[in-house]
Amino acid sequence: MDFTLNETQEDLRKLARSILEERATPERIRDVESSDEGIDRELWAEFAQADLLGVALPEDVGGSGHGIAELCVLLQEVGRRVAPIPLLSTIGLGSLPIAAFGGADQRKRLLAPVLEGTSLLTAALQESARHDPLAVQTTATRDGSRWRLDGTKVAVPHAPLADRIVVSARTGDDATGLFVLDPSARGVAIESTRSTHRELQANITLDGAFVGDDDVLGDPTSGNAELRYAYQHALACMCATAVGVFESAVRITADYISNRQQFGRPIATFQGATLRAADAYIDTEAVDVTTWSAIWQLAEGRDAADALAIAKFWVADGGQRVVHACQHLHGGIGVDTDYPVHRYFLWAKELELTLGGATPQLLRIGASLAGEA
């Protein structure tokens, strides 16, 4: 299995990296994080101008028609710079399900503004005190020509800024659907919060929020295919972002211990520091390999459920070892919340817990193995 980037993917990586290195500086990120929105609108506009927002979206709405692998190349670069732009939420969570299951009119109406950089989307997949986004408790009940949504969603990324939110809801005993919700509609209560990594999020309460048939994705009564698609692609996007986060954290730390002097010698010459950094590098490589194995299977249309659970486990488990080691190796400066490496620690914690941490992934893998046995 060869995960070498093809020519198109390499060009996308270079373009995104050049934009991010120029724009997503630590000083700029700090200013953006302290703003009310917490996103870099100028950087987002540059991504739109460079046609990077449509790499995984269909050509009939103006996208490039590539796939999940190309989007994950961009997300890895965003993770490297911990850039405060809504690429994960707007494209990975919100736009991909619409592109996959929306009709032609839906795709044009909802995705064309996204490509222009003028509209933000997101998805509400997590529920309070539940670790499995596939076990949905929010309900969607048929009411004439509309669907009534009732339930609670938590930690919805960029929901206070989103023009539309893709909501998962249970329509029957063994059926779920995806519904495109207008956050300003009656019956929708949005409570703004800030995430661990300073992202603007929201807890959403739905109490008789109505959605018309023209805002339903696919057939909400036929099973769970739409929700599985949204969940698996969200996991792939998060894992790709995490690869970039961990790679940069290790690189920053390697540079620091190579130059920081202690007892007249670089810290990197001490065996304890070197071994700790080496372990962090090994964990990062494990995250990288498992993530791109899962992305490849997803892109090829194979069953990627187990591969994604394995990748997310490494993001949650190995990733925490990586960022704890990196922060520890920085010594006293590692506890400075304004120092760049701390930002990578916060992103790692958010990616660890979102859509299920290490234990839920192990339970999923175990259940799969028991089923095979």
The per-residue pLDDT for range 260-269, each reduced to its tens digit, is 888 889 999 8
Superfamily of domain 7-119: Acyl-CoA dehydrogenase/oxidase, N-terminal domain (1.10.540.10)
pTM beyond 0.85, yes or no: yes
Query: Rg for the chain (alpha carbons), in Å?
Result: 21
The answer to whether domain 7-119 and domain 123-217 are alike in fold is no
C-alpha angle with apex 348: 165 to 285, nearest 5 degrees?
115
- pLDDT at residue 373 above 70? no
Map out the domains of the chain as residue ranges: 7-119, 123-217, 225-372
The per-residue pLDDT for range 294-324, each reduced to its tens digit, is 999 999 999 999 999 999 999 999 999 999 9
Q: How far apart are CA 371 and CA 286, in angstroms?
A: 26
C-alpha angle with apex 96: 135 to 366, nearest 5 degrees?
35
Contact 157, 241 (CB under 8 A): no
123-217 CATH, one of 2.40.110.10, 2.40.37.10, 3.40.50.970, 3.40.710.10: 2.40.110.10
CATH 1.20.140.10 is held by the domain 225-372:
yes
What are 359's two structure tokens? 């234990």
Q: How far apart are CA 166 and CA 369, in angstroms?
A: 31
For residue 165, report the phi and psi dihedrals to the nearest 5 degrees. -130, 125
The pLDDT mean for the chain works out to 95
C-alpha angle with apex 75: 69 to 77, nearest 5 degrees?
110
Per-residue model confidence (pLDDT) at position 130: 67
Q: Of all residues in the chain, what percent carry a pLDDT higher than 70?
A: 99
Instruction: Calculate helix-pair angle for 68-81, 225-259, nearest 10 degrees.
Output: 40
The per-residue pLDDT for range 15-65, each reduced to its tens digit, is 999 999 999 999 999 999 999 999 999 999 999 999 999 999 999 999 999
Contact 62, 54 (CB under 8 A): yes
Q: 27, exposed or middle or buried, with CB in 10 Å at 0-12, 13-18, 19+? A: exposed
